[in-house]
Structure 1
Amino acid sequence: MHSFRANFRKDYEVYKALTSKEGYQLIELHDIPVILSDYKMPEENGVLFLEKVKENFPFTVRIMLTGHADMPAVVDAINKGCVFRFLPKPWNEEVLRNSIENAFDIYLTKNLLGIRNEELKKVYAELDKLVFSTAHDITGPLSNIMGLVTLIRMDDSNSAEYVDLIEHTAKKLKLIARDVLSFHRNKRTGINLRDIRLNQLIKTVMNEHQFFENSANINYTLEVYNDQKFVSDKSRLRFILNNLLSNAIKYQDREKKENKINILANVNSSELKLTAEDNGIGIDLDRQSKIFDIYYRGTNLSNGTGIGLYIVKEAVDLLEGNIELTSIIGQGTKFIITIPNLFGAEVKENN
């Protein structure tokens, strides 16, 4: 054991256990990718020890060492699948070193596959919800359009009113299609770093919302501090701003004399801190924990798809940022977003 630690401690962090009980305790306390065990141990043999390790820590790669010519033990260990390699003692250092390196490669591969498998499960669950909810959301408006077309054919004296209703329904369908496309783009598009003129971008997005329905009575304010070079994904940042502004407009409190939307941006060399605050209807406290879930609607007044804030959260996560929500019913809602400033990374030329 001492010679093993002397040979390998420069390349690996080596833990020592004299019994299987000590071994279990070490595994529970530390993330141990590779275990080397003797076949003969004081409390139980190495096959039983590694078999229990496999049950509780399946990603850990197991190697057994023995100086005893015990072929039944070798066969038993291999059949139970509890060992990656079975090496005789005294060991050959080169063979043992190669075995440990291979074991680490397998451990990393197993972990990566596990992570990818969880990501696939999440994607399949999201896709299932997307298909069901989109079909449900589209069916209602399409039925309305078909009904209105029938009414026009039966009574063309009110055709102008019916056409207005058809237009309103078509706009709702367009919003559904937009959100589904945004979902797809956010999932499939890689990070595209740009040198972003933040003040200009926010003003552009705010101007685009001036002619939205029910936006005429809103008072906008914008404050940008330390408007210096900021590098990030411009299209995702634009989507985040678009969604937060459109929600603030949509869920304003029409009983108030003045409706406000305040945007505050603070940029430094390490991050952007973006605050979007309104004095709208607010979100119930018991709904706030679910507000970023796919297809969750934060209010009974919502007629949206329930995708927007989910994509906002996904976009912020892809940019390795953070988003926080505070909201009080009747007072308003505030989103605080922090996004790393990747100034110094490879940037595509700002067109």
Structure 2
Amino acid sequence: MNTPLVRVLYIDDEENNLHAFKASFRRQYEIYTAISAADGLKILENISIHVILADQKMPGITGVEFFKSITYSFPDPVRILLTGYTDIEALADAINHGDIYRYITKPWNDLELHNSIKNAYDAYKAKIDLRNKVAELEKTNDELNRFIYSISHELRAPLVSVMGIVNLVKMESLFESSGEYWGLIETCSNKLDYYIQKTLQYYKNNKTISEHTPIEFRKLVRELIDLYSYSDKETRFNVTIDQSEPFFGDVFRIEVILGNLISNAIKYQKEGATDKRVDITIAVNPAEAEISISDNGMGILNEHLEKIFTQFFKSKVNHGSGLGLFIVKEALNKINGKIAVSSDLAEGTTFKITIPNAK
């Protein structure tokens, strides 16, 4: 069975060492030698090398310095340092920066050096295999996300038609004509539309590149309240916005963040409560926007507070998709924002958000 051909580059300013190395290992490996770092760099530019050996003490540049100089241009080859003396500081520096796989003292032991090269090549293969698998997984994940996005769009078309038919039935005063059936159709359609919207939000949040544009929080909050409160006219909004400073940010993600939190504040009010209230406070300064969204709803159990931002988490009273707060957290991560939550079952829930001003 053929063994893979391992390409090894050895750089040393002493020709005798280069000849000795080639004589010892030419049968096991494809050997390339260089008398200087400059010659070694030329070989790297033309040949795909798997393992690099370099002498520490060379004129003009040390082995550690050479390895550091090729960290970004040639990150894949595994590095082995050969040294005839113990320079602890240089070795510690090289290891700490991840520039060498291991070091071997000169004169080397052939068996030790052979094993080191073999193990270094195994590390090289593992690195390349991992990268290929990650690339394959990323491609598969991207294809799956695009498929989900496409399907979600396709589902919306017939769903909008169904919701349109329900509205026509209402306009013709036939909504109550078939008992609870039209109501069930409307409820199921709204729930499906909600799931589709959250799926599209999740996809867009992952794919959309941040663009910083001017944001007027008064206008944005008013539009979001109108959008999410159309089905619940009982909830009262108290809005206080202090924006004397211009604010620049990612309007798509800020809409996603505020929209999900306002929607939740409405959705999780106490059933039958007569004083449903949501307080929104926003203060903008040159560095950031500080946002607080509070409700007097049903609150969140203490043991759930650390879990509410995880994907698909649902409490017993949560009838949503389990994606809303996860999307909020992901969107904040994309724009370097922060979020904190406090809650009391009797008093309600408060979310505090900080978003950097990108101006």
Of the candidates 206, 209, 225, which is equivalent to residue 190 of structure 1? 209
Shift in CA distance, 34/227, structure 1 to aligned 2, threshold 3 Å? farther
Letter in 2 for 1:303: H
What is the TM-score of this pair, normalised by structure 2?
0.60
Specify the SS of the correspondent of 1:194: strand
State the one-letter code of the partner of 1:191: S
**Residues 1-351 of structure 1 aligned to structure 2 (within 5 Å):** 36=81, 38=83, 61-62=100-101, 64=103, 66-68=105-107, 70-81=109-120, 117=134, 159=178, 161-212=180-231, 215-297=232-314, 299-343=315-359
Cα distance 1:35–1:247, how it changes in 2: closer, same or farther (>3 A)? Answer: farther
Q: Judge conservation of contact 1:63–1:83 (CA < 8 Å) in 2.
A: no
After superposition, the Cα gap between the structure-2 partners of 1:321 and 1:38, relative to the gap in structure 1 and judged at 3 Å, is: same
Kept after mapping to 1: 8 A contact 2:57/2:83: no
Name the CA distance, whole Å, in 2 between partners of 1:60 and 1:75. 20
Which runs of 5 or more residues in structure 2 are unaligned? 1-54, 69-77, 163-175
Q: Is the 8 A contact 2:101 2:120 kept in 1?
A: no
8 Å Cα contact 2:229/2:266 also seen in 1: no
3-state SS of paired residue (1:220): strand
1:254 shift after superposition:
3.3
- The count of aligned residue pairs is 257
Q: Residue deviations 1:93-145, cap 9 Å, x none?
A: xxxxxxxxxxxxx9xxx7xx88x959x69x96xx79x98xx99xx9xxx9xx9
Contact kept, 8 Å, 1:266 with 1:272, in 2: the verdict is yes
CA offset at residue 204 of structure 1? 1.5
- SS of the aligned residue for 2:205 comes to helix
Structure 1 39/296 Cα, relative in aligned 2: closer, same or farther at 3 Å? farther
Aligned position for 1:95: none
Distance 2:177 2:99 in 1: 73
The structure, 1 or 2, with the larger RCO (C-alpha pairs under 8 Å, 6+ apart) is 1
Quick one: distance in 2 between partners of 1:168 and 1:333? Answer: 26
Would the alpha carbon gap of residues 70 and 83 (structure 1) be closer, same or farther in structure 2, given more than 3 Å must change? farther
Q: Aligned pair in 2 of structure 1 residues 35, 291: CA closer, same or farther (>3 Å)?
A: farther
RMSD of aligned Cα (Å)? 4.4
- Percent identity over paired residues: 27
Q: Taking structure 1 as reference, are residues 60 and 296 closer, same or farther at Cα in structure 2, changes over 3 Å only?
A: farther
The CA distance in 1 between the partners of 2:192 and 2:277, in whole Å, is 28
Following superposition, the deviation at residue 207 of structure 1 comes to 2.1
Query: Which of the pair has more CA radius of gyration?
Result: 2
1:295-339 Cα shifts (integer Å, max 9, x gaps) = 111x32222111111000000000111111111112100001111
For the 8 Å contact 2:80–2:104, the answer to whether it is kept is no
Residue by residue over 1:182-239, the C-alpha shift from the partner in whole angstroms, topping out at 9 and shown as x without a partner, is 1111111111221111221112211223312xx2221211111233211111011111
Contact 1:322 1:339 in 2 (8 A): yes
- Per-residue deviation at 1:34? 8.1
CA distance in 1, matches of 2:84, 2:56: 18
Using the alignment, how far apart are the partners of 1:330 and 1:270 within structure 2? 35
Counterpart of 2:233 in 1: which secondary structure? Answer: coil
In structure 1, runs of 5+ residues without a counterpart are 15-32, 47-52, 85-105, 146-156, 344-351
Over residues 235-258 of structure 1, what are the superposed CA-to-partner deviations in whole Å (9 max), with x where a residue is unaligned?
111111111111111111234431
Cα separation, 2, equivalents of 1:235 and 1:280: 27
* Structure 1 residue 181, shift from structure 2 partner: 1.0
Query: What is the DSSP-based 3-state SS (H/G/I as helix, E as strand, rest coil) of the residue aligned with 2:180?
Result: helix
Q: Deviations over 1:270-313 (max 9, x none)?
A: 1111111111000000111100111111x322221111110000
Bigger shift: residues 221-230 or 328-337: 221-230
Counterpart Cα distance in 2 of 1:75 and 1:35: 12
- Secondary structure of the residue aligned to 1:269 is coil
1:262–1:72 Cα change, 3 Å: same
Q: 2: distance between equivalents of 1:294 and 1:70?
A: 54
Alpha carbons of 1:231 and 1:35: their partners in 2 closer, same or farther (altered >3 Å)?
A: farther
2:318 corresponds to which letter in structure 1? S
**Residues of 1 paired with 2:122 and 2:99: CA distance?**
10
Give the conservation status (yes or no) of the 8 Å contact 1:62–1:83.
Answer: no
